[in-house]
Amino acid sequence: MHFDRELDVKGLNCPLPILRTKKALAEMSAGEVLHVLATDPGAVKDFEAFARQTGNELLSRTETGKSFEFFIRRK
């Protein structure tokens, strides 16, 4: 999937992945896509809730072993 910016938050635990994602999205333009790499097991629920609460679109999420990948479109 095409993305405009990548954010690696592997090794960080809640709430840091969400806080860094929020900061990265704030620096992006509407419609741009952020690719996030995380390892926090709570990230799936956290990113789903974050997307609902902020209006940003969670385009996809995948899990590979203990690693998670998210694509989020800025509103």
**Active centre residues (catalytic):** 14
CB-count exposure of residue 39 (10 Å: 0-12, 13-18, 19+):
middle
